[in-house]
Amino acid sequence: MRTLPYPLPHEKCAVPLPLPLALTARLTPVAVLACAGWALTSGPAAPPAADHQPGPASPTHSSSAPSSTAVSKSYTTSPAPCGAVPASTVKSLVPGAKTAGKEIPSTDTKLRRTCSWNALEGYDYRWLDVSFEITESDQAAQKEYEERVKEKSGGGAVPGLGDSAYSVVNLTTEDKQQTREGVVLVRVSNALVIVTYNGSDFETKKAPDTDVINKGAIRAARAAVGVLPKG
């Protein structure tokens, strides 16, 4: 049986709570936290999922046209992720978390940045990640978007969000503890916005409803898309 590796934020919760392995990893020191948060939100292990196929890429230009080799893109650098979600939204989605968030180290902050918020308030746990990834072109972003959407099934398109958007929610159970996680993937020109939002209740061992997690993830994604500079 695993227990929290540090004292709970409120002294009234004096008895250590058993945690499943996945959530124990999220509450470990900063070095492990950074790796865990990044693995959830980007790179080959990212969870975006899949049964939605975005539309075809732009038609091929004639080889004689001067614009045939032009690269279409709107963004050259990632915005600051910890400023992407308003404080009021953070308080609503992750009660008890520091609204400033914590940026996870990246090998190239110009192209990839992630911010995390997490908190255990009483027995209620929430975790939110927001990531920005800047690709070399709209076409590269579309290809990456499609590949990530194919990784899992069970989700669906999110109308009116970015150039294309997809959300999926999954439930996992470990040591009888449920965790429900929602992922929203959005493409805007050559930028990808990835939001991961999950929660558990350690008293009831139940997870929040699907609708709660899905709407929360989409709410954070809309806020994040809103900080991308308008083209």
Model's pTM, two decimal places?
0.71
Domain annotation covers residue 11 = no
Domain annotation covers residue 15 = no
Q: Rounded distance, CA 34 to CA 129, Å?
A: 11
- Look at residue 100 and give its three-state secondary structure: coil
Domain annotation covers residue 60 = no
Tell which residue, 87, 83, 114, has the closest CA to residue 99: 87
Domain annotation covers residue 146 = yes
Q: What are the strands, taking DSSP E only, across the chain?
A: 102-104, 112-121, 124-134, 156-157, 164-174, 177-188, 191-201
Residue with tokens 């996992």: 172
Domain annotation covers residue 78 = yes
Q: How confident is the model at residue 154 (pLDDT cuts 50, 70, 90)?
A: confident
Residue 27 has pLDDT above 90, yes or no: no
Domain limits at 220? Answer: 21-52+73-226
pLDDT of amino acid 54: 43
- The residue with greater pLDDT, 192 or 35, is 192
Q: How confident is the model at residue 73 (pLDDT cuts 50, 70, 90)?
A: confident
Domain annotation covers residue 195 = yes
CA R_g for the chain: 19
Rounded to an integer, what is the distance from CA 216 to the centroid of its chain?
Answer: 11
pLDDT of amino acid 47: 42
Domain annotation covers residue 170 = yes
* Per-chain mean pLDDT for the chain: 79
Domain annotation covers residue 111 = yes
Q: Rounded distance, CA 187 to CA 143, Å?
A: 10
CB 141 within 8 A of CB 220: no
Q: Considering its fold, how many domains does the chain have in total?
A: 1
Tell me what percent of the residues of the chain surpass a pLDDT of 90: 65
Q: Is 152 exposed, middle or buried (CB count within 10 Å of its CB: 0-12, 13-18, 19+)? A: middle
**In the sheet where 124-134 sits, what is the strand order?**
102-104, 112-121, 124-134, 191-201, 177-188, 164-174, 156-157
